[in-house]
Structure 1
Amino acid sequence: MIESIKEHAAPGKVLNILEFTSPCTLAMICRTSLGGKVLEREGTQKFVEGLEIILSNVGLRMFNANLHPDIVYRFTRFYRKEMESRKFCYAFTDKIIVEKQQELAEAKAKGKQDTNNNANDSGNDNFEEEEDDLLSYKKPQIFIDQLLTIPLPDGKPFSHKEISDHIYTMIAAGNETSATQAAHTLMYLAMHPEVQERAVKEIKELLPTPESTITSEVMKNMVYMERIIKESQRLAPVAAVYGRKTIAELQLDQFTIPKGNIFVLNIFALHRRKEYWGEDADLFNPDRFLPENSKNRHPFAYLPFSGGNRGCIGNRYAMMSMKTIVTAILRNFKITTDLQYEKIEFKFKVSMHLSGPHRTFVEPRNLYG
């Protein structure tokens, strides 16, 4: 991502920062879900384009009532293109799943074979290397390995379709959302240079040399960066609306809501309600999330990842990926914009986007002198 920005940046040139965060989050989610070399495979570009078509069509149907009925949608060019994309994308990931299943089977077979031949030429036991190989599968590091090795509560493995569905859920939920939210965060930092410089100061304290890397400990100590991202999620939540169905009759003030009723929750409006966020609720202020400012706030006044039993299971992963992306960019560049805070407009697709591009100017930052 950083090298790509350097390649495209020039004095006075406008960049749409989303065009750089999006490939980065896709690479992250594909590598953590499917493995390190997944994006080096033949057909990767068509796979990426197919995912974009599928997600775009979901958003198209959400906001076009004429396309809601399946019987109508199936006669459209959008449906034909989506089915073509689905067929290719599923074939792409199915091949990876089969290859992973073969790898696991071979590793188990190798482990059994080696237990019958576990002494080296000097007669000493030689378990260590083989044991490490097996442990790497007993304690998998990527999502697909976990799906292939961890049984369900009834002891049965996940089916091929279940594995495929889980992978697509991870990619769809983890790519566009994190990329867009990171771009929103960078846009707000470009509009608020004093906040940007304070974030850079924290980065330099936690990463004092060019060789310093982001570890879990560093990530945990990025407290100001986390407040910045949370404030970005408050003002511009990518999941700005979502639906919930009542599982029992509900009394809401003077209204009785029957079981099975569907609600559409407006998170964008909730995050700007002045009774929870104060008279300056429309302003960007990361210090709203200082512990002393948050402790008395209603726990469901802030729902960027939903809440309750249906809360997003990827919230920690999303925060880590956004911290990593924003930190990498601020470490290398100073960012500005000609967009005006008071004139920001949003539009809804599957998630909430700017009505136009994330117009950003970048210049090299000499952080380490």
Structure 2
Amino acid sequence: MEISSILYGIAIILLIPVLKKIIKWRQFVNTVNKIPGPKSYPLIGTMWEFQGLKRENLFDVQIERMKKYRKDGLYRDWIVGKPEIRLLKAEFIEKVLTSNTNIKKSEFYELEIKKWLGNGLIISSGEKWHTHRKILTPTFHFSILEGFCDVFAEKCQIMIEKLMPFAGTGKTIDIFGYLNHCALDIICETAMGIQMNAQETGESDYIKAVAEISTVGARRFLNPLYHYNWIFSLTSYGARSRKALHTLHSFTDKVIQERKEMRKKISLNKNDSTEGWEDIGKKRRKAFLDLVLDETEKRPFFTDKDIREEVDTFMFAGHDTTTVSAAFALYLIGLHPDVQEKLYEEQMSIFDDSRELPTHKTLSEMKYMDRVMKECIRVYPTVLSVSRNVIEEFEVGGYKIPKGANVSIGIYHVTRDERYFPDPERFELQKKRFETYKGIYRDWVVGTPEIRLQRPEYVEKVITSTTNISKGQFYNLEFKKWLDNGLITSTGETWHTHRKILTPAFHFSILEGFCEIFSEKCQIMIKKIEDNTVWRDEEQYSDVIDVYQYVNHCALDIICETAMGIQMKAQETGENEYLKAVAEMSVVASKRFLNPLYHYNWIFSLSSYGARSRKALASIHSFTDKVIKERQELRKSNISHENKENIDDVGRKRRKAFLDLLLDESEKNPSFTHKDIRDEVNTFMFAGHDTTTVAATFALYLIGLHPDVQERLYEEQKDIFGDSQDFPTLTTLREMKYMDRVIKESLRIFPPILSVSRTVTEEFEVNEYKIPKGTNVSLNIYGCSRDTESFPEPGKFKRKKKQIDLNC
């Protein structure tokens, strides 16, 4: 009896973990099955519809499922006991792509791709991905691509010569093979530094092996039994896989070996640094493979296996996606003779009768070609979907996506979302609205016309008008409750009166006195960034930071101490309720503007966004009331000073804070109330810190993208300060000519305010269109800064003096 009891006890103890796993699995299954999806069967899951279909019909099943579950925005599949959640909406996909945790690649990559590409960038995750990505980043710089334009042109010229015999014959040809060989030649010569000559030699074993492994991979994914390695290895497809992989790896091993031998020959012939190598007989080219080989010489942990994995990845991703994109582009262009004609006209306008090969400059002039290629990629994306493994549970569309599930990001499906593309299958080449309507177009917003102006000369008519000065009525949605009659939202007599009071606060002599505060607060920000940066060695850091929050806290400290005369110390205290409330109001205002129903106050007030608005406004107004009260108390403590102009603000001499001007006015003029003070403080606090933060963040972003700009800025600082550790003064700031040009150009590309609005009180005319009284006009600052007549290459970050002066 005792023995049986003991055995029962042991059995129960052993069964508890099993039962826990079963319960956990059932909970997992129940969570997944709440998501809509096709009927699932044991073992085969939802893959039953694919069985017995020809390869060309497989995707039709996916299309039908996409249409069926389009409204839900997602659906679930079961594949050999593993759930795959397929996301179809952009907002759902964004949750995955912007996640810092759900970055692990799906386990389905491990079927065939893992054996082929190992831990290359496509497959790897986490620390390994970050390390390899950082090593390879320089190979993606535009200056590298610019240096290879002649290779692109030469290889394409060979392809054209191969195709010429078919011209005018009426024969149908398969363009894919020609493009594939051309792309392989290009990727080998540019990225790998070797000449492949695939177009001259004809058939390529590597290309055949890529096609073979793609076929095998598709068949393995669709057959549940083939997901088990031991079963797959015994099949004919397993044998085909091994043979293809052997060919692929032999090819990349050969590529690596050839480049290594070439490097040895070059090093024997040159005494200088490898930075000046003439790759493939052309000066100053740094091939992708060279960077990888350089890395192995510097870092022992970067092994030969790492090299092959990245070369395998780059070879495949570099030539295959290019081939697919180009093939579909030619297919679509072939279907649209009008597009062919416009492309031909564009080429003739650029080259005329010249036989010169395209350069980086002439490629940048092909605006219509650029639109055609982008639309081709939308209609036929090169990669139909990518997949991630869920590490941390999240929610989309009211459904929980549990940890352990796979999520598929449907690129093909999201580019057919009818919310963004009303006729998604149509090859649509219209420009964006601000380009299409030649600087002016109209919207209707809740029964009110909004005329959008995007040419500088049109905007000038409104800005210089002395009658059309009333702010647009859409300011009344959320800004009016927040800023009320501050300078941003007020008009007419109120605006003029308040502007006159505040004009002295904008004098340069005032700003000069605040330079040391700017420096002190920025120094705190720099220290905070340094303290929160993970340094791998003395010269490189291994983490990415969000600089916006650091700049935001710094800007708030500056505006409070300079304009309001109080020390906020937002950078020292960390989280700030005011900044959170400002961010919340921005979200609420955006949601309210975009939802027509929310334009009605009574509907909005009953919504959750209405509640969020009230809470955020209470926080903002409480903060500004506190700022005003603190300054009033500080003034009382300094009342003994006979001359208020010399009040010692925050221990510094001869500073007249913005808030002091308002408080002085309220003492002299009873009609200037506490509410007037708060309106202007709210306005100045918001406009003063938020626009500064946005402008500084985008400037840092652009400078980060352009190492040459960083270098010149550094040189300018060294020229001005030498080895001095002194803070900048207004005099030294004025010497920063290049810095001035960089900031102005970054403001052009990313203006802190995208548009402003006015209500028309007197009819006027632009471009032969009458703008009637009572309409709103939106002055599109962002659109003006991208006007191609004023800025021939509006998206390009230019720092040349002539261009910057023109911009200003």
- The residue that corresponds to 2:729 in the other structure is 215
Q: Secondary structure at the match of 2:786?
A: coil
Q: For 1:174 and 1:6, locate their aligned partners in 2 and report how far apart those are by CA, in whole Å.
A: 26
**C-alpha deviations, 1:99-133, integer Å up to 9, x for none?**
4334434543x3xxxxxxxxxxxxxxxxxxx4577
Higher RCO (CA-CA < 8 Å; seq separation 6+)? 1
Q: Secondary structure at the match of 2:773?
A: coil
Distance 1:44 1:94, change over 3 A: farther
Kindly report which structure 2 residues correspond to 1:333-352, keeping only aligned pairs within 5 A, or say none. Answer: none
CA positional deviation for 1:65: 2.8
- The residue that corresponds to 2:546 in the other structure is 16
- The residue that corresponds to 1:4 in the other structure is 528
Work out which of the residue numbers 238, 247, 250 in structure 1 matches 2:752.
238
Q: For 1:8 and 1:95, locate their aligned partners in 2 and report how far apart those are by CA, in whole Å.
A: 31
Residues 638 and 647, structure 2, Cα contact 8 Å, conserved in 1: no
- The residue that corresponds to 2:223 in the other structure is none
Distance 1:240 1:42, change over 3 A: closer
Q: Where does structure 2 lack aligned partners over 5 or more consecutive residues? A: 1-524, 535-540
- The residue that corresponds to 2:696 in the other structure is 182
Q: Secondary structure at the match of 1:38?
A: coil
Aligned residue-pair number = 273
TM-score normalised over the length of structure 2: 0.32
Q: Secondary structure at the match of 2:757?
A: strand
The amino acid across from 1:229 in the alignment is: I
- The residue that corresponds to 1:284 in the other structure is 797
- The residue that corresponds to 2:564 in the other structure is 34
The amino acid across from 2:626 in the alignment is: K
Q: For 1:20 and 1:81, locate their aligned partners in 2 and report how far apart those are by CA, in whole Å.
A: 25
Residues 137 and 145, structure 1, Cα contact 8 Å, conserved in 2: no
- The residue that corresponds to 1:63 in the other structure is 594
**C-alpha deviations, 1:4-58, integer Å up to 9, x for none?**
1111112221112212212111221222232332347999833332232223322
Q: Secondary structure at the match of 2:647?
A: helix
**C-alpha deviations, 1:278-326, integer Å up to 9, x for none?**
2x23211122xx3x5466x5xxx76xxxxxxxxxxxxxxxxxxxxxxxx
Distance 1:96 1:176, change over 3 A: closer
Q: Secondary structure at the match of 2:725?
A: coil
Q: Are 1:162 and 2:686 counterparts?
A: no
Q: Are 1:273 and 2:804 counterparts?
A: no
CA positional deviation for 1:211: 1.8
Q: Are 1:136 and 2:660 counterparts?
A: no
Residues 207 and 213, structure 1, Cα contact 8 Å, conserved in 2: no
Residues 107 and 134, structure 1, Cα contact 8 Å, conserved in 2: no
- The residue that corresponds to 2:627 in the other structure is 96
Q: For 1:225 and 1:243, locate their aligned partners in 2 and report how far apart those are by CA, in whole Å.
A: 31
Residues 763 and 771, structure 2, Cα contact 8 Å, conserved in 1: yes
Q: For 1:91 and 1:136, locate their aligned partners in 2 and report how far apart those are by CA, in whole Å.
A: 26
CA positional deviation for 1:140: 4.7
Say which one has the larger Rg: 2
Q: For 1:42 and 1:212, locate their aligned partners in 2 and report how far apart those are by CA, in whole Å.
A: 26
- The residue that corresponds to 2:762 in the other structure is 248
Q: For 1:96 and 1:262, locate their aligned partners in 2 and report how far apart those are by CA, in whole Å.
A: 35
Q: Secondary structure at the match of 2:606?
A: coil
Q: Secondary structure at the match of 1:277?
A: coil
The amino acid across from 1:145 in the alignment is: D
Residues 624 and 682, structure 2, Cα contact 8 Å, conserved in 1: no
Distance 1:157 1:209, change over 3 A: farther
The amino acid across from 2:529 in the alignment is: I
Identity of aligned residues (%): 25
Q: For 1:31 and 1:45, locate their aligned partners in 2 and report how far apart those are by CA, in whole Å.
A: 16
Distance 1:142 1:157, change over 3 A: farther
Residues 666 and 673, structure 2, Cα contact 8 Å, conserved in 1: no
Q: Are 1:197 and 2:727 counterparts?
A: no
Q: For 1:3 and 1:294, locate their aligned partners in 2 and report how far apart those are by CA, in whole Å.
A: 32
Q: Are 1:46 and 2:577 counterparts?
A: yes
Residues 565 and 631, structure 2, Cα contact 8 Å, conserved in 1: no
Q: For 1:102 and 1:13, locate their aligned partners in 2 and report how far apart those are by CA, in whole Å.
A: 44
Residues 788 and 794, structure 2, Cα contact 8 Å, conserved in 1: yes
Residues 34 and 143, structure 1, Cα contact 8 Å, conserved in 2: yes
TM-score normalised over the length of structure 1: 0.66
- The residue that corresponds to 2:663 in the other structure is 148
The amino acid across from 1:78 in the alignment is: Y
Distance 1:56 1:29, change over 3 A: farther
Q: For 1:177 and 1:185, locate their aligned partners in 2 and report how far apart those are by CA, in whole Å.
A: 12
Q: Secondary structure at the match of 1:74?
A: helix
- The residue that corresponds to 2:284 in the other structure is none
Distance 1:293 1:54, change over 3 A: closer
